[in-house]
Structure 1
Amino acid sequence: MPQRPVSLHAPKGSVAAATIKEGLDALIAKAQQDSELAVEFPPGVLAEAEEAAASWRDRARDHEDLTAVAFVTLDPESSTDLDQAMHLERTGAGYRVHYAIADVPLFVPLGSALDAEARRRGATVYLPDRRIPLHPPVISEGAASLLPDQEAPAFVWILDLDAKGEVTAVDLRRAIVRSGEKLDYDGVQAQIDAGDPHPMMALLQEIGDLRAALEVERGGASLTVPEQEVEADGEHVRLRWRELHPIEDANAQISLMTGMAAATIMLEGGAGVLRTMPPADATNIARFRRQAEVLGIPWADGLTYGAFLRTLDWRDPAHLALLNQAASLFRGASYAAFTTPEEIPEDHEQAALAAPYAHTTAPLRRLVDRFVLLACLAHVRGEQLPADLREALPLLPELMRESAARGGALERDAVSLVETAALEALVGETFSAAVIERREGKTPTGKDGKKNGTPSQTRVEVQLTDPPVTAWILIDAEVGTVIQVHLDSVDIPGRTARFSAA
């Protein structure tokens, strides 16, 4: 959670951090009981982690020495589990990207207690005042993290790009690296906006822009919406909008490019695990286009829906409503594992990227990336996948699905807790809110198929700007309009807030 300047008085809409902690403790306890969420690491796993952190050099004797390469990291300021470091340079034909990814497999060997525990967890869970890590912190925030001025083992992707940003050559090595600088999004963007960018970050923005243009050319699509963030303010926390900086999108493009390269390597090698998403249904795209027309948002002929999405600005209530509707076009993401070429699914693309894709750049925080790195390395070296790796691949889709269900449910409940707690001091006030969804009331249908009974009321979902929360209200209003709503009551334990039309 990013740290901000501390004020002497709690701002309106803030809530005591102790209240959030108490509520989250209760949510975590319930999640542990209901879904077997793992929080504490078993003593044997912690002991194995300590040993792995202390002795990793003994297992890295064959790693190449790339400590002379001037890597830097780019993350939120408070991050300590740093998966990626980069070195970018211009070449005569285009660009060369060195992209170092934490060598988690060196610390978490297949078949170990650490491996079993990571499979049980699946991914790091991020909550407003804490995180539940995938690996013990001695690994994820210590020896395996690409922290500044610390030598660490890494998988280093070397990608050559042409002048348009297209990848022309890919290599993958295991190496020892050292990051020289820990850069953060806010600081880097401020330097860019002031006209005095960090040299490598100026190059990152340049490459990122080229990759984004290629994404549009392929027919890919990205949803650009602000993040809801919990902000620390002394002993209080509050919700605020955090708009993504352009440099963050550029940074994401480097990760996406690497994931696409990993997918290509595994498809050619005939074994691996992909991140997939089915293409948006033509009916849904047609409906989305009609919604744009109703909201009065021009959609030029020949413009793909991905390119169209990039024209939308969430600050406009009509655009915000349409972006909310666009989420229906990005459904069905899953994983597809295969151990022979014959098992490769016919629909193996990630439709939002309009290309095959794999998760490979966040092994400290996501289970599947560790296996993708190992599979890619074997393919690049022309080796057969080890038996234990080949046996694990088919298990990963279900492990990741279960992990997403557990962690996602807890993260949603945590956000609802903070939302309602932040609203408690605002009961009785009136807010402007944009209508982002409308559900018309329906008359119940009896067993005979005839409609009878009292029809339900039409309701709309609205988005408040400050604090940034959403709510359903029993009222009829057009999507994309701005209405006035009154906060009637708040139930923090129930994580609900009751609004009415003002």
Structure 2
Amino acid sequence: MKTLRDPANALAKGLAAIRTEFDVPEAFPPAALAEAERVAQRVPDGHADWTALPFVTLDPASATDLDQAFCIEAAGGALILHYAIADVAWFVDEGGALDSEAWRRGETLYLPDGRAGLYPPMLAERAASLLPDGPRPAVVFTVRVAGDGAVAMDAVTRAVIRSRAKLAYSTVQEADLPAGFAELSARIAAAEAARGAARVDPPEQELARDKDGALMLAFRERHASEDRNAALSLACNMAVADLLQAHRTGLFRVMAEPDDAAERRLRLTAQGLGIDWPDQATLTQFERTLDPRDTRHAALMLAIRRAGNGASYRPWRADETPWHAAVAAPYAHATAPLRRLADRYVIQAALAVGNGRAVPDGVSAAFDRLPKVMARAGALAGRIDRAVIDMAEAVMLAGCEGRTFDAVVTDIGERGASIQLADMPVTARIDAAGLTPGDPVRVRLTSADPSRRAIAFEIAGAPVS
């Protein structure tokens, strides 16, 4: 996992081809843009005034679509998290041009060279974003976090807030953050460990230019502040899920555990990468030992994410208990409405039941429609991510034809044997004749074509011991 310099401009050309192939939207329809300009001028009506509270945001330095702001206060042995979420429903009229386009898109699509947003930038990056340049409408979830990390929703309030600072993962200092931030995050992490939860957060690819102006593909460093911030979002989403379950409504994020076959393949991948996975350690226990700053560990974290059964959305049903295996608890998405369509409706439901009102009929009806829409959007995002990775692998290996690599067989399927290179975060397929999962092999690169996003290997002999 390394920086890829791109003197031939293959990355830029490849990304442009991916955008065309997957029909990534480049612009919004005129009607949606006109509506966005109009609703961006709306003045909050009926929102409580919470501008005196010292909210801050914490995101990547370049982010401008800021969904979340937070402040923390102590209450005896508990910590109170006021988690403000952009009030997208205040701006978006059901059935309007913005709403229709959001249902068509489903979620923001991210590519290394830029994103295709769920909403126009004038909303997502300005009027609705919780930037520190003026008051913004928000829905504030007030979550009580006990000493053992247990969470409970105290209140859901539609309010106007004012962020005091736009903090960045890469530069934030402890003194910039609210008192209690580290303690609250530690409580959530301890509760996760007690539940047996296992969230996998591998590093993300990003495209940048070096000092000579050449494009390069790198993996963004994950900072400790980012992991702590994720704990706040987790606490809020779990509290929202509990609130909705108690009122027999909602839309939940669910995921089953990886099956035994997937875990066996992952053990082989770890072996191929030279990472020790003790026989007695479960996948959950093992995941907690991985460090995304180690390139081999980061590659394995990506493999673990791909090996999961996949998360999906499910509306509340009387005969089902929604469960998310990675969280080891019921879980809902409510904290990124500028980037995910479903969150807007979950927030509206929580706002209603949290204040003793019935969930609007349109929101309840949306819960039945959203799983299919979000699955389609998620599948598209997944295909784009895979295409970017395939392209990056091909660029990484271009010019190395004829070179041999140590690898391990991780799986045998209808399309051949899956292999994992020992020195690079590269997976590929080869002819499966005579191979079984776990076999060490030495392979020769026969082709690497960035334009087709394709690489090919052949057996070259036994691995070097």
Indicate the TM-score class for this superposition, using the shorter chain for normalisation.
0.7 to 0.9
Look up the match of 2:20: 29
SS at match of 2:182: helix
For 2:19 and 2:303, the matched residues in 1 are separated by 31
Change beyond 3 A, Cα 1:64–1:18: farther
CA shift, 1:261, in A, is 0.9
SS in 2 for 1:400: helix
Q: Counterpart of 1:3?
A: none
- Report which stretch shifted further, 169-178 or 13-22: 13-22
Which residue number corresponds to residue 107 of structure 1?
91
The Cα of 1:18 is off from its aligned counterpart by 5.3
Kindly indicate whether residue 35 of structure 2 is the aligned counterpart of residue 48 of structure 1.
yes
Identify the residue that residue 297 of structure 1 maps to in structure 2: 277
The 3 A distance-change label for structure 1 pair 345 and 463 is: farther
Mapped to 1, the partners of 2:376 and 2:269 lie a distance apart of 34
Q: CA deviation at 1:74?
A: 0.8
Cα distance, 1:352 vs structure 2: 1.4
- Which residue of the partner structure matches residue 450 of structure 2? 492
The CA deviation at 1:387 is: 2.0
- 2:143/2:155 contact within 8 Å kept: yes
Q: Distance in 2 between matches of 1:216 and 1:264?
A: 19
Deviation larger for 69-78 or 483-492: 483-492
Contact 2:252/2:313 (CA < 8 Å) preserved in 1? yes
Contact 1:318–1:479 (CA under 8 A) maintained in structure 2: no
> Which residues of 2 match residues 348-427 of structure 1 at below 5 A?
348-424=322-398, 426-427=399-400
Aligned residue number for residue 232 of structure 1 = 209
Counterparts of 1:237 and 1:270, CA distance in 2 = 51
In the alignment, the residues of structure 2 paired with residue 292 and residue 419 of structure 1 have an alpha-carbon distance, to the nearest angstrom, of: 19
Matches within 5 A, 1:425-444: 426-427=399-400, 435=407, 437-440=409-412
**Is 1:214–2:205 an aligned residue pair?**
no
Deviations 1:197-221 (A, max 9, x none): 2252673232212211111211211
Equivalent AA in structure 2 for residue 400 of structure 1? M
Q: Find out whether 1:262 has 2:221 as its counterpart.
A: no
Unaligned runs of 5+ in 2: none
Q: Is the 8 A contact 1:299 1:308 kept in 2?
A: no
Task: Give, in angstroms, the shift of residue 430 of structure 1.
Answer: 5.3
Could you state the TM-score of these two structures normalised by the residue count of structure 1? Answer: 0.80
- 2:180 matched residue in structure 1: 203
Deviation at 1:89, TM superposition (A): 2.8
| Post-superposition CA distance 1:437-483 (Å, at most 9, x none) | 534599xxxxxxxxxxxxx9756222644xx54444669798597x8
Aligned equivalent of 1:15: 6
Verify the 8 A CA contact 1:101 1:156 in the aligned structure 2.
yes
Q: CA deviation at 1:497?
A: 2.9
1:132 and 2:116 aligned: yes
Counterparts of 1:14 and 1:85, CA distance in 2: 36
Q: Tell me the secondary structure at the aligned position of residue 82 of structure 2.
A: strand
Q: Distance in 2 between matches of 1:43 and 1:437?
A: 52
Cα distance change of structure 1 residues 164 and 176 upon mapping to structure 2, 3 Å threshold: same
Cα 1:437–1:217, aligned 2, differ >3 Å: closer, same or farther?
farther
How far apart, CA to CA, are the structure 1 residues paired with 2:341 and 2:271?
A: 42
Which one is further off, 237-246 or 166-175?
237-246
Q: 1-side partners of 2:150 and 2:308: how far apart?
A: 25
Segment drifting more, 84-93 vs 114-123: 84-93
| Matched-pair contact (CA < 8 Å) for 1:319–1:480 | no
How far did residue 157 of structure 1 move? 1.0
Question: CA contact under 8 A between 1:322 and 1:436: conserved in structure 2?
Answer: no
- When the two chains are superposed, the root-mean-square deviation of aligned CA atoms in Å is 3.4
CA distance in 2, matches of 1:457, 1:44: 49
Please give the alpha-carbon distance, in whole angstroms, between the structure 1 residues aligned to 2:8 and 2:319. 48
Unaligned runs of 5+ in 1: 1-10, 192-196, 443-455
Output the amino acid matched with 1:216. Answer: A
The share of aligned pairs that are identical, in percent, is 39
Q: Separation in 1 of the partners of 2:216 and 2:377?
A: 28
